[in-house]
Amino acid sequence: MRYYLIDRVTALTPGESARGIKCVTLTDEILHDHFPDFPMLPGALVVEAAAQLSGFLLEMTFNANANEEARPVVRAVLAQIQRAKFHHAVEPGDCLDIVATIAGMHESSAQVDFEAAVGGEQAARGTLTFVMREIDSPRVHEQRRQIYALWTRGMSPPLVLP
């Protein structure tokens, strides 16, 4: 994954919801071309930030007891974006506060509603559908553990990362 669009996970309740932030700065390379005189985070990347937080929530939920039950670790794969709405631009200096809430879960899939706000004002919202897949790649698992450890450092108690 080239773009990590969550800077920190600020709250997690497995099986329910997660909250995270993305601080938008002029050093975000995409802003140099989108747009030169009016830099703003593209809506697709706002949705991607919500998808990354949602995937983290689902992986922490689905893999909660994977080691104890000798089940394989599964990873969240975005399958569908529904009802994405954008209410105002997210600009450099903004801190995007994202909340992901599980709307429905099945054996190998889930639906997550998200809201993204800046300064308490809604910037975007939508619904994301994921499939949960076993991925046979130690590199994928290590990469996820590393980024999740960065996103959640300082959380108390420390999380057990799948």
Catalytic residues: 34
Asked whether the beta carbons of 118 and 90 are under 8 A apart, the reply is yes
Report residue 109: phi and psi, to 5°. -155, 165
Residue 78, SS3 per DSSP: strand
Q: How far is residue 12's CA from residue 98's CA, in Å, rounded to a whole number?
A: 12
| Cα 63 from Cα 60, distance rounded (Å) | 5
